[in-house]
A = this chain, B = another copy of it.
Amino acid sequence: MILSYETKIRVRYKDTDQMGIMHHSNYIVMYEMARTEWLRDMGLTYAEIERRGIMSPIIEVQSRYLYPAFYDEVLTVKVYMNEMPMARFNILSEVYNESGKLINTGRVTLGFMHADTRRPCRAPEWFVEALEAYIEKSKAENKDE
């Protein structure tokens, strides 16, 4: 793991289904919310990335459901990466409930493409640099603690 980030997301009433649990499609949205918060913490935003003419389409999603999540729980969504992005970018996730139990794991593979031509491209340099600076900053902060 070269980098990780945690965010907290509450299960909304809208997210439940008649099984009385959070509908499974919502984890996919939670991964996206956590990625967004992570980018923001990195000094980037997805809005900013789109303004720079890059889109980041989803290539693959995998999600494993270990335990259900319930209405009104505050889930902890941890996203992390094990390698630097190249043409593809793997973001792994772990979702914990309020008791700290691991209830879901996920992996999202993203690509990069030019917004105008919709053609795939490698991770932009400014993106990799922002990521490296963020990794350095995280290391420094961990040393201080």
Contacts and interface: CB of A to CB of B under 8 A. Distances in A.
Contacts of A16: 17-18
A87 interface: no
Interface stretch (A62-70, A77-85, A90-98, A133-141): A62-70
B19 A57 contact: yes
Interface size class of chain A, counting residues whose CB lies under 8 Å from the partner chain:
35 or more
Interface string A48-75: 0010000101111111110010111000
User: Interface SS of chain A: helix, strand, loop or mixed?
Assistant: mixed
Interface in A7-35: 12-14, 16-21, 23-26, 28-29, 32-33
Contacts of A18: 13, 16-18, 20-21, 50, 71
B59 A36 contact: no
Contact of A33 (B12, B23, B32): B12
